[in-house]
């Protein structure tokens, strides 16, 4: 009778944990607030395909063709023409001090040179110190110009259309169809959100008992370690479910991210992932003494999760050693599961490899935390 | 109800050679203790002397590195679970949940001990505490004294036969401390054995037995009435004008080991009776206005002596106490 696991005691610990969770407004706010905040930040604010970039114009030719090119640039939404400059010095200054991301120079006698077949050049100077900011706009440029050529060189100018091109843009790049970056970012966010909150909340909740001294009272009672462990951790599985629910609703309503794959595969994947993160939080709680340390240690795990998992930067583009490190992070594999399932329509068979990787990482974490967990205060 | 052999029934706690090492430090060193059943046993010693560690070993929260012992007849190494069922342990700082209500705390603790009817038990505890109407108040909002009484009530719900109290009244005001001790004596009358650690003198003098520990070693142990004789202090009591000046003078004399003020009296003590008598004789001839009276040292002086010597001269105190 004494050695057995007591369901009643386990329920008492569980119920206590829920009451505490309900009273702790900050934690409760974090559970719902962090997913929403991250979704909005990464989905809306952080945009690798920025539009309406401030642009200045040096207009040395007022011809209809020049105006048509500019009109096309403006309607592309990448360029927001905010004013005119009178010469190269003024344009350079605007780029340097950041008032403009682009300066567009239409050369003098632009239309006339086109008609004469001299292939005049439009110069687009970009502030490349933030390559992501200007990259896509630059990429879109040549497409815009092609369009302008088609639209304007009609009637009397028809003769100069065709090859060789009647005029060109100096910053020439391959055209990329416009991509909504939120579709790529949002699924990956689930991996980051769960890693962040599951690890942090679990570690803090467990360390809080030790820090406030209640753990000593608790283990002085006949309660079994397993009852405490499960009773404390299960409520946070529930939290993970809430977060995933918030995430799915927001992804659908706010970002129109498709969900193409198998719901079952998604369900299995996120449960395995939640358990591994809770175990990581538990492991951290065995290594620190205060809630502050628990928080710092949790944030230490979050940095590689964001940077090395393939969430922020393409995994394949990282050097070998970074890929090796990244492979040890649960989020790396979960990220693939979510992207595969949501965007590529994957089912169970497609994610088995990723699930296995997460399970192996989880087994190692559980093993270490069991070795570190003590029944006594030694 | 009883466990173990009949010979053990008279002894609630019995430990021999208890030792605990943290790193290189012997926090508890070769410690013996016998706590008679039904006694209020005071466990004295300065901060960091190993009291908490000893108590934790006695209730199975820490595994001793050396030594052996029984608590309520159960082995402290192998039967920690049985010990926990029958012991009420109150930790040093308030350690119930501040973000749970009074009722929720009591209910949680009742469930940890798998009480049959937790609701009834909790209701009874609330009535006993006089907190019937305040069960839904958060425990964190209680005053220090009330927190201690709540913690005591929480660890008494499963009717333990032994109470381990680790500095239960640290930081609690004197009135609340008296109330707390009234409760402890009431429990003791009901047959509960109480082991209480403290560094308050007014608590020490309420105990039936005392044990004094410093730097992990037990220096002195016995029934409270025998402690002053074991410490071996000779004390003179003096009253009269300008006691502060006299106190300074006496303290400057190396033959005087301790001067303590009790209201309008100075208690002047030393373990060397002859040397002290000589000092007093000199004082009498030099200054006729003071009234001097030689008395057997009492627990108060012994307590002050032990606390003072252990904290600033461990080696000396150990030698004297052993002698």
d(CA A149, CA A165): 9
Residue of A nearest to B100 (CA): A20
Sequential pLDDT tens for chain B (323 residues)? 444 444 456 889 999 999 999 888 888 989 999 999 999 999 988 878 889 999 999 988 888 999 999 999 999 999 988 999 999 999 877 788 989 999 999 999 999 999 889 999 999 999 988 888 889 999 999 988 888 889 999 999 999 999 999 988 877 888 888 888 999 999 999 999 999 998 888 888 889 999 988 888 888 889 988 888 888 888 889 888 888 888 888 888 888 888 888 888 888 888 888 888 888 888 888 877 888 888 887 888 888 888 777 654 344 444 444 43
Contacts of B59 in chain A (CB under 8 A): 220
Chain A CB contacts of B89 under 8 Å are 217, 220
**B95 neighbourhood in chain A, CB within 8 Å:** 212-214, 216-217
What is the torsional sign of CA B239, B242, B244, B250?
negative
Record: contact A377-B56, CB cut-off 8 A: yes
Q: Which residue of A has its CA nearest to B114?
A: A9
Angle between helix B102-112 and helix B118-129 axes, rounded to 10 deg? 130
DSSP alpha helices (H): ranges in B222-272?
Answer: 227-231, 243-252
Q: What is the DSSP string of B260-311?
A: EEETTEEEEEES-HHHHHHHHHHHHHH-TTSEEEEEE--HHHHHHHHHHHHH
Q: What is the pLDDT of residue B145?
A: 85
Q: Which of A27, A221, A374, A378 to mutate to test the interface with B (most CBs of B within 10 A)?
A: A221
Backbone angles phi, psi at A328, to 5 degrees: -85, -5
**Residue A39 sits in the same domain as residue A57:** no
Separation between Cα atoms, residue B16 and residue B26, nearest integer Å: 16
Using CB atoms, pick whichever of A213, A222, A377 lies closest to residue B95.
A213
Does A191 lie in the same domain as A163? no
A34: distance to nearest CA of chain B, Å?
23
User: CA-to-CA distance for A242 and A244, rounded, in angstroms?
Assistant: 5
Cross-chain Cβ contact B111/A12 below 8 Å: yes
What is the Cα–Cα distance from B109 to B153, expressed in whole angstroms?
Answer: 10
Residues A89 and A206 in one domain: no
| Parent domain of A21 | 7-46+181-372
The region, left, alpha or beta by phi > 0 then psi within -120 to 50, assigned to residue A338 is alpha
| List of chain B residues whose C-beta atoms are within 8 Å of the C-beta of residue A376 | 60-63, 80
Beta bridge partners of A274: none
A73 has a chain B CB within 8 A of its CB: no
Residue A377 lies in a domain: no
Which of B87, B95, B111 faces A212 most closely, judged by CB atoms?
B95
Q: How far is CA A34 from CA B55, B148, B164, in A?
A: 44, 38, 44
Is A343 a member of any domain?
yes
For A376, nearest residue in chain B (alpha carbons): B61
CATH code of B7-227, in short, is 3.40.50.300
Classify residue A309 as left (phi > 0), alpha (psi -120 to 50) or beta: alpha
Using CB atoms, pick whichever of A9, A19, A24 lies closest to residue B111. A9
What is the DSSP code (8-state) at residue A329? S
Neighbours of B252 (CB within 10 A): 8
pLDDT computed for residue B23 by the predictor: 83
* Domain-embedded: residue A175: no
In whole angstroms, give the CA distance from residue A132 to residue A307. 16
Pairwise CB contact (< 8 Å): B100 & A20:
yes
Determine contact, residues A136/A78, Cβ cutoff 8 Å: yes
* Within-domain flag for A122: yes
Q: Residues 6 or more apart from B323 whose CB is under 8 A from it? A: none
- Do residues B309 and B302 touch, judged by C-beta distance below 8 A? no
Q: Are residues A75 and A205 in the same domain?
A: no
A12 touches chain B (CB under 8 A): yes
Topology adopted by domain B228-322 = Alpha-Beta Plaits (3.30.70)
Contacts of A12 in chain B (CB under 8 A): 108, 111-112
Are A200 and A293 found together in one domain? yes
Gap between the Cα atoms of A370 and B304, Å rounded: 47
- Residues of chain B found within 8 Å of residue A16, distances taken between Cβ atoms: 97, 100, 104, 108
Residue A203 falls within a domain, yes or no?
A: yes
- Give me the residues of A, 85-104, that contact B with CB < 8 A: none
pTM: 0.72
Produce one character per residue of B154-180: b if its CB has 16 or more CB atoms within 10 Å, e if not.
bbbbbebbbbbbbbbbbebeeebbebb
Q: Note down pLDDT in tens along chain A; length 378 residues.
A: 445 788 888 899 899 988 888 888 777 777 777 777 777 777 766 666 667 788 888 888 888 878 888 888 888 778 888 888 888 888 877 777 667 778 888 888 888 888 787 778 888 887 766 656 667 777 777 777 777 777 766 655 555 555 556 666 655 332 223 345 566 677 888 888 888 888 888 888 888 888 888 888 888 888 887 788 788 888 888 888 988 998 888 888 887 777 888 889 999 998 999 999 988 998 898 888 888 889 888 888 888 888 888 887 777 767 888 889 999 999 999 988 888 888 777 888 888 889 999 999 999 998 888 777 665 455
Q: Do B87 and A9 touch (CB under 8 A)?
A: no
Pairing of strands B265-270, B258-262: antiparallel
For residues B122 and B103, give the distance between their C-alpha atoms in angstroms, rounded to a whole number.
Answer: 7
Q: Which residues of A touch B93 (CB under 8 A)?
A: 213
C-alpha to C-alpha distance for A163 and A116, rounded to whole angstroms: 14
Q: Residue B99: which of A23, A221, A378 has the nearest Cβ?
A: A23
Give yes or no for a contact between A110 and A160, defined as CB atoms under 8 angstroms apart: no
Contact A376 B61 (CB under 8 A): yes
Supply the CATH number for residue A80's domain: 3.40.1710.10
Domain shared by A218 and A264, yes or no:
yes
- Is A163 an interface residue toward B (CB < 8 Å)? no
**Residue A269: predicted pLDDT:** 92
Q: Which DSSP symbol is given to B7? A: G
Q: Looking at beta carbons, which residues of chain B come within 8 Å of A2? A: 81-82, 85
**Chain A contacts of B62, Cβ < 8 Å?**
376-378
DSSP 8-state symbol, A375: S
Is the CB of A222 less than 8 angstroms away from the CB of B111? no
Q: Contacts for A69-75 with beta carbons within 8 Å, 24 or more apart?
A: A69/A106, A69/A122, A69/A144, A69/A145, A69/A148, A69/A152, A70/A104, A70/A106, A71/A148, A72/A144, A72/A145, A72/A147, A72/A148, A72/A151, A73/A104, A73/A141, A73/A144
Determine the residue of chain B that is closest to A17 in CA distance: B100
Q: How far is Cα A21 from Cα A205, in angstroms, rounded to an integer?
A: 9
Residue B288 confidence (pLDDT) = 75
Half-sphere exposure of B33 (CA within 13 A, CB side): 31
Does A2 map to a domain? no
CB of A6 within 8 Å of a chain B CB? The answer is yes
Q: Where are the alpha helices (DSSP H) in A41-97?
A: 64-75, 88-97
What 3-state DSSP class applies to A105?
Answer: strand
Using CA coordinates, name the residue in chain A closest to B56.
A377
CATH 3.40.50.300 location in chain B: 7-227
- Chain B touched by A19 (CB under 8 Å): yes
Q: β-strand B66-71 against B11-22: which pairing, if any?
A: antiparallel
Distance from CA of A231 to the nearest CA of B (A): 12
Q: Are residues A163 and A238 in the same domain?
A: no
Is B114–A9 a contact, with Cβ atoms under 8 angstroms apart?
yes
Tell me, yes or no, whether A158 lies in a domain: yes
CA torsion sign for A152, A156, A162, A164 is negative
pLDDT at position A161: 52
Q: Is residue A24 domain-shared with residue A65, that is, in the same domain?
A: no
- Among A109, A143, A169, the domain boundary falls at A169
Distance between B151 CA and the closest CA of chain A, angstroms: 10
Q: Where in chain B is the domain with CATH 3.30.70.250?
A: 228-322
Q: Any idea what the Cα angle at residue B93 is, between residues B89 and B95, rounded to 5°? A: 65
Please state, in angstroms and as integers, the Cα–Cα distance from residue B11 to each residue in A31, B1, B52, following that order: 53, 15, 21
Interface check for A222 against chain B (CB to CB < 8 A): the answer is yes
CB contact under 8 A, B62 and A377: yes
Q: Does A151 share its domain with A199?
A: no
Give the closest of A9, A222, A376 to B63, CB-based: A376
Smallest CA–CA distance from A24 into chain B, residue: B99
Q: Are A195 and A137 within one domain?
A: no
Query: What is the DSSP annotation of B120-182?
Result: HHHHHHHHHHT-GGGTTSBGGGS-HHHHHHHHHHHHHTT--SEEEEESTTTT--HHHHHHHHH
Beta bridge partners of residue B220, listed in sequence order: B212
Q: Which of A143, A169, A195 is the last residue of a domain?
A: A169
Same structural domain for residues A347 and A248?
yes
Judging by beta carbons within 10 Å of its beta carbon (0-12, 13-18, 19+), is residue B153 exposed, middle or buried?
buried
Domain total of chain A: 2
User: Using a CB-CB distance cutoff of 8 angstroms, which residues of chain A are in contact with residue B168?
Assistant: none
Q: Which of A217, A224, A376 to mutate to test the interface with B (most CBs of B within 10 A)?
A: A217
Query: A271 and A214 share a domain?
Result: yes
Asked whether the beta carbons of residue A378 and residue B62 sit closer than 8 angstroms, the reply is yes
- Cα three-residue angle A289-A292-A297, rounded to 5 degrees: 80
- CA neighbor of B121 nearest in space, from B105, B133, B136: B105
- How many residues would you count in chain B? 323
Instruction: Check: CB of residue A261 under 8 Å from CB of residue A346.
Output: yes
Nearest to B84 among A12, A220, A378 (CB): A220
The residues pairing with A53 across neighbouring beta strands, listed in sequence order, are A79
A377 touches chain B (CB under 8 A): yes
Is the distance from CB of A84 to CB of A56 less than 8 angstroms?
yes
Instruction: Using the 3D structure, point to which of A140, A169, A198 is the last residue of a domain.
Output: A169
Element (H, E) at A212: helix A181-212
Task: Residue B75: name the closest of B64, B83, B66, B85 by CA.
Answer: B83
Q: How far is B315 from chain A (nearest CA, A)?
A: 28
Please report residues of B whose CB lies closer than 8 A to that of A222. 81, 84-85, 112-114
- Residues of B in CB contact (< 8 Å) with A are 56, 59-63, 80-82, 84-85, 87, 89, 91-100, 104, 108-109, 111-114, 138, 151, 155
Report yes or no on A259 lying in a domain. Answer: yes
């Amino acid at each position: 009778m004494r050695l057995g696991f007591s369901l009643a005691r386990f329920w008492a610990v569980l119920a206590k944990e829920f009451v505490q969770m309900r009273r702790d407004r900050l934690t409760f706010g974090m559970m719902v607030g962090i997913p929403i905040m991250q979704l909005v930040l990464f989905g809306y604010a952080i945009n690798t395909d920025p539009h309406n970039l401030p642009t200045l114009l040096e207009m040395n030719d007022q011809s209809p063709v020049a105006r048509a090119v500019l009109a096309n640039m403006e309607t592309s939404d990448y360029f927001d023409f905010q004013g005119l400059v009178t010469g190269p010095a003024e344009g350079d200054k605007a780029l340097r001090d950041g008032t403009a991301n682009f300066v567009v120079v239409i050369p003098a006698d632009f239309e006339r040179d086109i008609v004469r077949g001299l292939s005049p050049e439009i110069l687009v100077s970009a502030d490349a110190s933030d390559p992501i900011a200007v990259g896509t706009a630059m990429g879109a440029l040549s497409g815009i110009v092609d369009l302008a050529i088609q639209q304007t060189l009609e009637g009397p100018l028809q003769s100069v259309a065709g090859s060789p091109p009647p005029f060109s843009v100096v910053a020439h790049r391959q055209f990329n169809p416009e991509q909504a970056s939120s579709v790529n970012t949002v699924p990956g966010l689930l991996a980051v959100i769960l890693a962040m909150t599951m690890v942090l909340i679990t570690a803090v909740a467990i360390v809080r008992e030790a820090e406030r001294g209640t753990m000593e009272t608790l283990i002085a009672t006949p309660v079994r370690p397993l009852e405490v462990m499960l009773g404390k951790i299960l409520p946070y599985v529930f939290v993970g479910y809430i977060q995933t629910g918030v995430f799915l609703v927001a992804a659908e309503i706010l970002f129109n991210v498709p969900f193409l794959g198998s719901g079952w595969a998604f369900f299995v994947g996120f449960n395995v992932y939640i358990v591994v993160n809770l175990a990581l939080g538990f492991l951290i709680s065995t290594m620190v003494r205060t809630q502050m340390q628990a928080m710092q240690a949790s944030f230490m795990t979050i940095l590689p999760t964001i940077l090395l998992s393939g969430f922020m930067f393409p995994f394949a583009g990282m050097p070998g050693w970074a890929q090796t490190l990244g492979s040890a992070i649960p989020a790396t594999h979960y990220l693939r599961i979510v992207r595969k399932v949501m965007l590529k329509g994957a089912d169970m068979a497609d994610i088995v490899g990723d699930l296995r990787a997460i399970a192996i990482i989880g087994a190692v974490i559980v093993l270490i935390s069991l070795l570190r967990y003590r029944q006594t205060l030694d | 109800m009883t466990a173990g052999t009949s010979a053990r029934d008279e002894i609630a706690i019995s430990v021999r050679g208890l030792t605990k090492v943290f790193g290189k430090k012997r926090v508890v060193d070769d410690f013996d203790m016998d706590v008679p059943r039904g006694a209020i046993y005071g466990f004295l010693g300065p901060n960091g002397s190993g009291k908490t560690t000893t108590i934790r070993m006695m209730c199975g929260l820490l595994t001793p590195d050396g030594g052996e012992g029984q608590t309520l007849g159960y082995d402290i190494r192998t039967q920690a679970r049985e010990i926990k069922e029958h012991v009420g342990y109150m930790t040093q700082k308030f350690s119930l949940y501040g973000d749970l209500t009074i009722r929720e705390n009591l209910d949680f603790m009742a469930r940890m001990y798998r009480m049959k009817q937790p609701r009834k038990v909790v209701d009874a505890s609330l009535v006993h505490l006089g907190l019937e109407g305040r069960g839904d108040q958060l425990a964190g909002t209680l005053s220090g004294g009330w927190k201690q009484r709540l913690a005591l009530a929480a660890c008494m719900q499963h009717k333990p036969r032994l109470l381990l109290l680790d500095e239960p009244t640290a930081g609690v005001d004197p009135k609340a401390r008296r109330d707390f001790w009234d409760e402890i004596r009431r429990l003791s009358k009901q047959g509960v054995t109480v082991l209480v650690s403290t560094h308050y003198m007014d608590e020490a003098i309420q105990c039936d037995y005392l044990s004094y520990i410093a730097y992990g070693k037990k220096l002195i142990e016995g029934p409270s009435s025998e402690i002053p004789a074991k410490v071996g202090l000779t004390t003179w009591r003096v009253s009269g004008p300008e006691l502060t000046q006299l106190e300074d003078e006496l303290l400057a004399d190396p033959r005087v080991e301790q001067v303590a003020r009790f209201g309008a009296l100075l208690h002047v003590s030393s373990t060397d009776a002859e040397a002290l008598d000589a000092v007093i004789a000199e004082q009498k001839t030099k200054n006729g206005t003071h009234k001097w009276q030689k008395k057997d040292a009492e627990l108060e002086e012994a307590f002050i002596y032990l606390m003072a010597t252990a904290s600033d001269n461990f080696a000396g105190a150990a030698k004297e106490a052993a002698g």
